[in-house]
Structure 1
Amino acid sequence: MYYDARGDDARVALTLAKSAVDYGAVALNYVRALGVTKASSGRVASVRLRDERSGDEIDVPTTCVVNATGVWADEIFALTEMSDSHQITPAKGVHLSVPRARLSTDVAAVLNVPGDRRSIFVVPFDDAPYTFVGTTDTAYDGALDDPLCSAEDVAYLLRAVNAATTSDLSIDDVTGVWAGLRPLLAPQGGVALSERTADLSRRHRVTDTGDGVIHVTGGKWTTYRQMAEDAVDALAPYVSSLTKVRTKKMPLHGVSSWRPNTELEIHLFRRFGDDTHDLLALIADQPALGEALIEGQAYVGAEFVYGVTREMATSLIDLVTRRTRAHLHDAPATLRAAERIAQLVAPYAQWDEAEIARQVAHYDKLVRREFDAAGLEVRR
């Protein structure tokens, strides 16, 4: 049984970005690297960026670049080094959610998969009456931007749970599905590739190509800080002002001695830390923002407004899949509330009625694409 180590990976990523900004970094959302220019010495001199929303492009002068782009690392390597790269072997992992009433658990558990040399996790979501099940580990050769959970993936997980519990789950119990890709290190030259991606290393590798570009490949969330330290250490030949690592004991953004008391404060504190005060101020000014918007979920209106005004959310999909986990908990219920959420944030996001309709339609399309791929029906 696992009592600790629960986490919301999207909130962790956002907290790290906020922490970096606290220390002087500039964080940009929906900005794509198009290429680099190099000086006559061969050293990187600038990076060409494009704002994916406006289409504007800009050159940013620099003396070094860190390529820490996960499963896209090979693409950036090819962009900066002008040569093919095969350092990453993507592996797909999927999860599904069911109502906790159908699969009740107070702590995370590990279940062996009959007939397979793998285990899966059964984990209760915090602050939501749902349990999620996962993960798989299979080779993947599709589009990196759009991995999907298949009907076979769903059947695999349901069979594993039903073999170990009396829940007797079916596809009708599934309320959410999602898939992600692990950036596993490809075998080095001369090493045979196992048929099982589960056998590939979860370690990371830092590569200095000698031109001011540092490539970080492999790794996983649980070692992110060590990966970052190794990458920064590799910058020493290019940045003379580097100081001794400070992040081993550095509090992340939102850490404080304040502790919540009410049910709403506890819910917000678990997600926003000390920034909870900003959301409580929104609710004090507009009490309606303290109301939950999605059936069966605790997310209140202030969280969606805050996502737009303070956390760089630019779309309804951003809000329900990344700033909150509503879509993962229960996609059909979130879809039913989609228009209400869009209407709420419209004044802050500067959306007119046509844009609201477009945002809702885009989310509807996402839900149906994911559920269709998984062999599930969207019940509205």
Structure 2
Amino acid sequence: MMEQTFDLAVIGGGVNGAGIARDATGRGARVLLLERGDLAEGTSSNSTKLIHGGLRYLEHYEFGLVREALSEREVLWGIAPHIIWPLRFILPHRPGLRPRWLVRLGLFLYDHLGGRKRLPAAEGVDLTRHPAGAPLQPQYTRAFAYSDGWVDDARLVILNARDAADRGAEVRTRCEVTALAREGEVWRITAGGETFRARAVVNAAGPRVLDLLGRAGEPSAQKMRLVRGSHIVVRRLFDHDYAYFFQLPDGRIFFAIPYETDFTLIGTTDVDHDGSLAEVKASAEEIAYLCAGASEYFRTPVTPDDVVWTYSGVRPLVDDGSGKPEAATRGYRFEVDGGTDGTPPLLSVFGGKITTYRHLAAEAVDQLAPYLPALKGGDWTGSASLPGGDFAITEAGARIAELAAAYPFLSQRAAQRLIRLYGTRASAFLGDAVSLADLGEDFGHGLTAAEVDYLVASEWARTAADVLWRRTKLGLHFTPAQTARLEAYLSERITPQ
């Protein structure tokens, strides 16, 4: 088989890698995106699922990072209004912790650092009258309300990859890089049993960034700190649409967020991760910590027995010498090796957070531009909708109503689910259907063969886990028998790679 030559090979199918692939492809480069597993299988699908500035980072004087993230909130909301939507947070005042004046000052800065335009400003709240006060213990009577955003993190990755592919990029999943070496003016890459050539390489391997550098024979002086963030999911603890920002006596904070209609998401922890990256999971201590923290605020205690699911991700943070994991910077750095005297460059990405991925990608591509003549123009991704997001942020409700009207057999909940996953592309697999039967087998909870076939053909899904946990989040609702049936269906239709 003839070896293909690309302008740029991006290694790592998380949010940074997918974002860089999209940006570079849109600027005219021929791009190859390589991911060892499924897209967003690691850190990028295991976040707290927030598009936020990081209110607590103000305490660590990370004003630049907070400003950058805040400026990105409404940009991302604008290009992906189907998978990103505003969320109002309630921050109860707890005597003996951060004084009220300090929280008020922090929220004032939060409102004014990043060019907030559409999101409502922070305000004081009387919890004895506000609906968010009802689930809380009675001693919490005062709070602040402020705005941030919610995101379906895995779909953010997948839609960036989909847009890159729509613009001409080649996306290969389950295609691990086993060899990487310079060969004259190009990189020679062995992955998935094939060999590719690229004029430049981006190392966006996340927690494995240093491992990939070692494989390429490019040791780095940069130190990384791997920090595990764990979350628990319990049955719904409250009926309203507000989320909570809670403070604990040890100085840490955590969130309680409405999740997938029927659940509450609680997290996150910050624990140095020294174990394998192959299996990252919440420890019993982390689960107990989150349950105890939630029980300090909610009237109904939360116990480990109430936990229906946990997930954990390892954040690849720049090691800035911070004593506590939660104090380590969420900023990012680049390191470029080569690129002079005809030597093909290797750009490595260290750190980052999901909210700043788009800005990170634009900076990365800008750094590669001097070495790749194919790259033309500057940052373009902030005004170009992600697939399915080609409607105004004020039209999300109308889109749900339109879909329900066009397909009367869909319930309101089903129409909302499909719009929040696929936006205007939901009709790609609904087609001319006039009944649920027209969409093929129903695997449960509205997931039909037509939708699964679309995910296989257009979104690189291969397994039940791909479909249920990273494409649709229906894994929380599926029974083992339903999951087994879906796995069997997929195995019948997918040729092993």
TM-score range, shorter chain: 0.7 to 0.9
Q: Deviations over 1:155-175 (max 9, x none)?
A: 000001000111212222111
Tell me the equivalent position of 1:335.
480
**Aligned-pair CA distance for 1:274:** 1.7
CA distance in 2, matches of 1:45, 1:181: 29
**Aligned-pair CA distance for 1:136:** 0.5
Tell me the equivalent position of 2:422.
272
- Contact 2:245–2:256 at 8 Å: present in 1 too? yes
CA separation of 1:298/1:197 partners in 2, compared to 1, >3 Å: closer, same or farther?
A: farther
CA distance in 2, matches of 1:155, 1:322: 26
Tell me the equivalent position of 1:325.
473
Tell me the equivalent position of 1:248.
382
Q: Is 1:151 the equivalent of 2:299?
A: no
**Aligned-pair CA distance for 1:254:** 1.6
3-state SS in 2 of match to 1:62? strand
- Contact 1:202–1:219 at 8 Å: present in 2 too? yes
- Contact 2:232–2:265 at 8 Å: present in 1 too? yes
Q: Deviations over 1:183-236 (max 9, x none)?
A: 10023xxxxx33311111110101111241011110010000111011101112
Q: Is 1:108 the equivalent of 2:108?
A: no
Q: Deviations over 1:58-106 (max 9, x none)?
A: 2111110011111111111112234366532110001111111x44442
Q: Is 1:139 the equivalent of 2:272?
A: yes
Instruction: Name which of 321, 329, 346 aligns with 1:201.
Output: 329
CA distance in 1, matches of 2:425, 2:331: 34
3-state SS in 2 of match to 1:31? coil
Tell me the equivalent position of 1:181.
314
Q: Deviations over 1:285-323 (max 9, x none)?
A: 8627488645xx564554333322322111122222212
CA separation of 1:15/1:67 partners in 2, compared to 1, >3 Å: closer, same or farther?
A: same
CA distance in 2, matches of 1:205, 1:195: 20
TM-score using structure 2 length: 0.62
CA distance in 2, matches of 1:252, 1:174: 34
- Contact 1:288–1:301 at 8 Å: present in 2 too? no
CA separation of 1:209/1:265 partners in 2, compared to 1, >3 Å: closer, same or farther?
A: same
TM-score using structure 1 length: 0.80
Q: Trace 1:74-153 onto structure 2 (pairs within 5 A).
A: 74-83=210-219, 86-100=222-236, 102-113=237-248, 115-126=249-260, 128-153=261-286
- Contact 1:89–1:184 at 8 Å: present in 2 too? yes
Q: Deviations over 1:105-155 (max 9, x none)?
A: 422110112x311110111124x3111100001111111222111111110
- Contact 1:46–1:63 at 8 Å: present in 2 too? no
Stretches of structure 1 that go unaligned for 5 or more consecutive residues are 51-56, 188-192, 352-380
CA distance in 1, matches of 2:283, 2:432: 41
Aligned residues, how many?
330
Tell me the equivalent position of 1:16.
160
- Contact 2:463–2:490 at 8 Å: present in 1 too? no
Letter in 2 for 1:111: F
Q: Is 1:62 the equivalent of 2:198?
A: yes
CA separation of 1:86/1:284 partners in 2, compared to 1, >3 Å: closer, same or farther?
A: farther
CA RMSD for the aligned pairs?
2.4
Tell me the equivalent position of 2:463.
315
- Contact 2:462–2:490 at 8 Å: present in 1 too? no
CA separation of 1:4/1:82 partners in 2, compared to 1, >3 Å: closer, same or farther?
A: closer
Letter in 2 for 1:150: S
Letter in 1 for 2:482: A
**Aligned-pair CA distance for 1:346:** 4.7
CA distance in 1, matches of 2:435, 2:262: 29
- Contact 2:177–2:191 at 8 Å: present in 1 too? yes
**Aligned-pair CA distance for 1:265:** 2.7
Tell me the equivalent position of 1:54.
none
Tell me the equivalent position of 1:46.
188
- Contact 2:292–2:303 at 8 Å: present in 1 too? no
CA distance in 2, matches of 1:173, 1:105: 20
Where relative contact order (Cα < 8 A, 6+ residues apart) is larger, the structure is: 2
3-state SS in 1 of match to 2:310? strand
**Aligned-pair CA distance for 1:244:** 1.8
CA separation of 1:136/1:209 partners in 2, compared to 1, >3 Å: closer, same or farther?
A: same
Task: State which drifts further: 155-164 or 66-75.
Answer: 66-75
Letter in 2 for 1:47: I
CA distance in 1, matches of 2:484, 2:257: 30
- Contact 1:291–1:301 at 8 Å: present in 2 too? yes
3-state SS in 1 of match to 2:460? coil
3-state SS in 2 of match to 1:81? coil
3-state SS in 1 of match to 2:191? strand
